[in-house]
Amino acid sequence: MLKTLILSICFVVHPVHVTLTSIDYVPKSDSFKVFVRMYYDDFLLDYRLSRGEGQSVNLSDNQIFPKNLMWQYINEKINIFVNDRQLNGQLVDLKRVDNEISMDLLYSSGKKPRTITVKNMIMTQLYSDQANMTIIRINDFEEGIKLTSEVTEQTFKLN
């Protein structure tokens, strides 16, 4: 009953289930700067769903989510493959303003990208209408895509 009430309140607060991810190639360092923004309350629900109720994190309103736990979550939910090789990254910065959480990540690629595959599963098990809006910028290539609960990944050929 309480969970149903909480979910109902969340729908009233912001009925749109959307995240924003931008992936920008930095040629000088053969790396990708990645920015992710999402609603904090949706993130907490998805985090609890993926971890189970027993592993939830209790935070006061002015606390930020722990960086190490956020990195584990992002590492499971967003995968970037360049030239068929999964990239490893790191969480550089994490901010929360009101009900939005945003983060900057850095992924080393090591080689000039010929193909890039982006898989984004943030909240795709939580909401059937989830939209993970993603913008990819590599040299002269720029593409915006909408990844959903039904389509969680897309591959781009750059040559």
pLDDT in tens, 110-136: 778 999 999 999 999 999 999 999 999
CA distance 36 to 55: 23
- What is the SS3 assignment for 74? helix
- What are residue 115's DSSP bridge partners? 157
Q: For 28-87, what is each residue's pLDDT tens digit?
A: 999 999 999 999 889 988 988 887 654 556 655 556 788 988 999 999 999 999 999 999
Q: Which residues pair with 88 in a beta bridge?
A: 108
- SS3 string, 21-71, reads EEEEEEHHHCEEEEEEEEEHHHHHHHHHHHHCHHHCCCCCCCCCCCHHHHH
> In the predicted model, what is the mean pLDDT of residues 16-34?
94
Contacts of 140 (CB under 8 A, 6+ apart): none
